Each structure stands twice: as structure tokens, then as C-alpha cells.
């Protein structure tokens, strides 16, 4: 992935030599399985934190990126080491680091740097950096050269400003998916002020959807799940959903016409957005956090008639992500996970394609040793 972000004060123009090699799992082509690989990690700079990775969530984005399914927007550079839902232990800090010390439990999400000077970065929205944030993997590595390598590895070195504190109350494995799936759903619910008494829909009950349900309930909303799978009804109720709508039933959909304040759409497959816009009330909002591969047509009158909004959202800034982690600790929220060994990641990818996980795979990185 090519980026044009300007270096921050802690980055240099000339690539540095790697300090050490770390064990990892990488894909070497769009069709190859992930396999054992050795990657470079840099020596600590003054504001760097070295983290021993304990858990790493498996995001659907990892599958897309490894198989180069986003080649038009974010072509994959191989070898690719995915992973941006990282929880681990601080093992070393640079001399200027003030917020973390050896032994602290920390997290790293989808970004490891940004320009720090544009209006969005200064506002705490680093994910919208005008000069492009440096993603945790498959982004230009402005320090070592080449591309960044993610959390399917034994360790990582990250700028202090992009390291998050994991509250003691959280289960560490269940907290890992909060670094992507959690903030991806928390941020739009917060931004559009979802609150008590509102009627909120969540489309899809997967890794993102189940987190959206948990957050919407914690915010006090009346939560309705839209799913194509009747067999998800029981689990939806367990997660706190107030109503379940089978979205393939026109009659069930019609019952909810023009009644929603907000709908969070987490589905990455092609589907009819106009059907969900018809459910939005006056001045309500449909927000996309899923990323379908192909464009979806929108009828103008789906928006015009009731001043509806169609919007999108992607992760959140560092400040908001820390806020989300603290909120989760206060409300006892983590992801529902299935723990796997790194050696089972290829089977996990195959199961992801079949939606055969409740609701997030998390790799126990001790299995890499």
C-alpha cells in the first residue's frame, strides 16, 4: 500500500536497520496459506514501546487483505503479516516514554502512526489523517522501509502515542477484538448520539454486529437485530436484543417502516440498502461500517422523503478508543470469542468465509513460541 504521510518528529527519512527478527505467520501470495515467517522489528526510539503480543484477534479485514480482495483501494504487498487487534505486555520502553512501563498490559489497534499535524490528527481523529495514518500492517513503514507487519507475530514496536492501556477488569483475550470490532461499532454510536429511548437497528450478527448490539444496549437503546438467519434468534436474545427481524421477510420489514432513529449496518456482502433506508424515520441515520466489495445502488427518494442520512464510519481515534476500552471495563463488555492456536489460523479463515464463528477468533500467541 502506497502512502504519502509526512514523517512525524519521531520518524526519519532514511530507513533504519532492523534491531531484531520476530517470529510471525505470513501469507506470501493471495492463494498461499499463512505459514511461519521471520520479520524485522526496529530498535526502540525514544518514544517507542516494545510489546510482547499475548493475543491477537482475527478480523475479517485480515482475510480480505491476505487474499488481496481490496486491490483497487489497498493492494496487498507480500509477504503480508496481518493482525490489528493486539493485546500484550510491555517489555521495554524508550527513554522518553512516560505513560507506560515494563509489565503494563496494553493494546494496539489498526494504526501505529499518523502525521500528527493535520486538523484531523490534532482533533483526535487520526483515522482520518489527511496524510493517511500508518496502518498496523500492509502500510508503508516509514522507519524501516517496506511495509508494516501486524499482530500475527510474537512482538511489535509502536509509538507511545498509539499504544492503549487495557483496563485490569477486562479479560485479555476477549478485549483483543475491541481494538477493531469494538471501536468500529462504538464510534458511530457515540458520534450520532445513540441514547436511552431511541430505537436502534443492527444489521448482521457477526464480529461487528454482536459488538454493536452490546454497545447499543449499554447506551440504553431499544435494539432490533436484522438477520437473514432465523437460527440466530436465540443468541440475539442472549446478547440483549429486544426484537429480531428476518430481513428476507417483506412483511416483517414493513412492520418497522419509518420507525428507526439509527441503524448500524455491519454487513460486508452485497445487500439492498434501500430496504433499510425505508425503515429510517425523519432525520434518522443509516451508517455503514461493513465494506461490500462492489458498489450498491441508492435510490434518491430513499433519502429525500424523510431527510434521511446515509453515512459511513471507520474505527476511531486513539482518544476515543481509550474511552471505549474504559467504557467496556465499566460495563463488563468484551467480545464473544473462540480461542485458537496460530497453527489453526488457515482453518479459521475458511470458517470465517462460512460465518462459522461466535463471534471472533482470537489467537493465543503463546502457540507461536
pLDDT for 180: 97
The parent domain of residue 158 ranges over 20-180+335-368
Claim to verify: residue 25 and residue 124 sit in the same structural domain: yes
Claim to verify: residue 282 and residue 358 sit in the same structural domain: no
Claim to verify: residue 160 and residue 231 sit in the same structural domain: no
pLDDT for 15: 66
Claim to verify: residue 362 and residue 302 sit in the same structural domain: no
% of the chain beyond a pLDDT of 70:
96
User: How many domains does the structure of the chain reveal?
Assistant: 2
Claim to verify: residue 190 and residue 144 sit in the same structural domain: no
Claim to verify: residue 24 and residue 154 sit in the same structural domain: yes
Claim to verify: residue 70 and residue 123 sit in the same structural domain: yes
* Structural domain contains residue 317: no
Report the candidate in 213, 234, 235 with the shortest Cα–Cα distance to residue 224. Answer: 213
Cα first-last separation, the chain: 30
Name the helix (H) or strand (E) containing 346: helix 345-353
Sign of CA dihedral 66, 68, 73, 79: positive
3-state secondary structure of 290: coil
Q: Residue 53: which CATH number?
A: 3.90.180.10
pLDDT for 301: 95
pLDDT confidence tier of residue 8, bands split at 50, 70 and 90: very low
* Structural domain contains residue 330: no
Claim to verify: residue 156 and residue 40 sit in the same structural domain: yes
Report the candidate in 229, 264, 261, 267 with the shortest Cα–Cα distance to residue 248. Answer: 229
For 283-319, write each residue's pLDDT tens digit. 999 999 998 878 899 999 999 989 999 999 999 999 9
Q: Residue 289: which CATH number?
A: 3.40.50.720
Sign of CA dihedral 165, 171, 173, 174: negative
* Structural domain contains residue 279: yes
Decide: 368 and 88 in contact? Cβ < 8 Å: no
At residue 3, does pLDDT exceed 60?
A: no
Claim to verify: residue 34 and residue 150 sit in the same structural domain: yes
* Structural domain contains residue 225: yes
% of the chain beyond a pLDDT of 90:
87
For 224-265, write each residue's pLDDT tens digit. 999 998 989 999 999 999 999 999 999 999 999 999 999 999
Claim to verify: residue 28 and residue 171 sit in the same structural domain: yes
Grid cell at residue 192: 450520532
pLDDT confidence tier of residue 13, bands split at 50, 70 and 90: low
Claim to verify: residue 171 and residue 193 sit in the same structural domain: no
Claim to verify: residue 176 and residue 186 sit in the same structural domain: no
* Structural domain contains residue 3: no
For 128-140, write each residue's pLDDT tens digit. 999 999 999 999 9
* Structural domain contains residue 207: yes
111 alpha-carbon distance from chain centroid? 10
Amino acid at each position: 500500500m502506497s502512502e504519502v504521510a509526512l514523517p512525524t518528529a519521531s520518524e526519519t527519512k532514511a530507513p533504519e536497520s532492523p534491531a531484531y527478527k520476530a517470529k510471525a505467520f505470513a501469507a506470501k501470495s493471495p492463494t498461499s496459506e499463512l505459514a511461519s515467517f521471520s520479520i524485522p522489528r526496529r530498535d526502540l526510539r525514544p518514544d517507542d514501546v516494545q510489546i510482547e503480543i499475548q493475543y491477537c484477534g482475527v478480523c475479517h479485514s485480515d482475510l480480505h487483505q491476505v487474499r488481496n480482495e481490496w486491490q483497487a483501494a489497498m493492494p496487498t504487498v507480500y509477504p503480508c503479516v496481518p493482525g490489528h487487534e493486539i493485546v500484550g505486555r510491555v517489555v521495554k520502553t524508550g527513554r522518553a516514554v512516560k505513560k507506560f512501563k515494563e509489565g503494563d498490559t496494553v493494546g494496539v489497534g489498526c494504526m501505529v502512526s499518523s502525521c500528527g499535524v493535520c486538523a484531523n490528527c490534532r482533533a483526535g481523529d487520526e483515522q482520518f489523517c489527511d496524510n493517511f495514518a500508518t496502518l498496523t500492517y500492509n502500510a508503508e513503514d516509514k522507519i524501516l522501509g517496506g511495509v508494516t507487519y501486524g499482530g500475527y507475530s510474537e512482538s511489535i514496536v509502536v509509538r507511545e502515542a498509539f499504544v492503549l492501556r487495557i483496563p485490569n477488569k477486562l479479560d485479555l483475550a476477549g478485549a483483543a477484538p475491541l481494538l477493531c470490532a469494538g471501536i468500529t461499532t462504538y464510534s458511530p454510536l457515540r458520534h450520532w448520539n445513540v441514547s436511552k429511548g431511541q430505537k436502534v437497528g443492527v444489521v448482521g450478527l457477526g464480529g461487528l454486529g454482536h459488538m454493536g448490539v452490546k454497545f447499543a444496549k449499554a447506551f440504553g437503546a431499544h435494539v432490533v437485530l436484522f438477520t437473514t438467519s432465523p437460527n440466530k434468534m436465540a443468541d440475539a436474545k442472549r446478547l440483549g436484543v429486544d426484537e429480531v427481524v428476518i430481513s428476507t421477510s417483506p412483511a416483517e420489514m414493513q412492520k418497522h417502516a419509518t420507525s428507526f432513529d439509527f441503524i448500524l449496518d455491519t454487513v460486508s456482502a452485497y445487500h439492498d440498502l434501500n430496504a433499510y433506508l425505508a425503515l429510517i424515520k425523519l432525520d434518522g441515520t443509516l451508517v455503514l461500517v461493513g465494506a461490500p466489495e462492489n458498489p450498491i445502488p441508492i435510490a434518491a427518494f430513499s433519502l429525500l422523503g424523510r431527510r434521511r442520512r446515509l453515512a459511513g464510519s471507520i474505527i476511531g481515534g486513539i482518544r476515543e478508543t481509550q474511552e471505549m476500552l474504559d467504557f467496556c471495563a465499566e460495563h463488563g463488555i468484551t467480545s464473544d470469542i473462540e480461542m485458537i492456536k496460530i497453527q489453526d489460523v488457515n482453518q479459521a479463515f475458511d470458517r470465517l468465509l462460512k460465518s462459522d464463528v461466535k463471534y471472533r477468533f482470537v489467537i493465543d500467541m503463546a502457540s507461536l513460541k
